[in-house]
Amino acid sequence: MFDLKKNDPAKAAEVGYTFTVVLPDGSETDAKITVRGANSAVVKNYSRRIYQEFKQREQQAKRRGREPEDLTLEEAEKLSAEAAAVRVIAWEGIAEDGKEIKFSETEAERIFKEYPFIREQVMTESDNVFNFRTGRD
Q: What is the DSSP string of 39-52?
A: TSHHHHHHHHHHHH
Q: How much is the pLDDT for 114?
A: 96
Structural domain harbouring 9:
5-131
Structural domain contains residue 136: no
The total number of structural domains that make up the chain: 1
More confident of the two residues 10 and 41: 41
Number of helices and strands (H, E) in the chain? Answer: 5, 5
30-47 residue pLDDT tens:
999 999 999 999 999 999
Structural domain contains residue 104: yes
69-97 residue pLDDT tens:
887 889 889 999 999 999 999 999 999 99
Structural domain contains residue 137: no
* Cα distance from N-terminal residue to C-terminal residue, the chain: 6
Structural domain contains residue 96: yes
Structural domain contains residue 39: yes
Structural domain contains residue 23: yes
CB distance 34 to 90 below 8 Å:
yes
